[in-house]
Amino acid sequence: MTRSFPLFLALFLCAGLLLAAPLGCASKQAAGDDAAAPACVCEKGKQGENVWCESCKVGYVDGKKVKCQDCYKAKTGQGPACTKCKQS
């Protein structure tokens, strides 16, 4: 009976390491993905907020979609009028 005790402990430790290793990797990968891709804020724009979505490269002003960042800045007072687009 006394011989089986250390063997049981060794198996228990091995199982613990096997379970802990994948969990550690998963949490590191998730944090890296969050840092690489900017968060999509299109939902906020659709709800009426003035936002520029860095993830989709589109902006929203008063709930309207703006595809040009310079136009978005001009409409929100963050920059001069856009010269790239012909505004009607």
CB of 25 to Zn ion, least distance (A): 29
CB of 70 to Zn ion, least distance (A): 4
DSSP secondary structure string for all residues of 24-50 = HHHHHHHHHHHHHSPPP-HHHHHTT--
CB of 24 to Zn ion, least distance (A): 31
Q: Using alpha carbons, select from 53, 52, 77, 48 the residue that is nearest to residue 63.
A: 48
Tokens representing residue 59 in the block: 């902006």
* Residues in region 6-65 near Zn ion by CB under 5 A: 40, 42, 53, 55-56
Residue numbers at the binding site for Zn ion (CB under 5 A): 40, 42, 53, 55-56, 68, 70-71, 82, 84-85
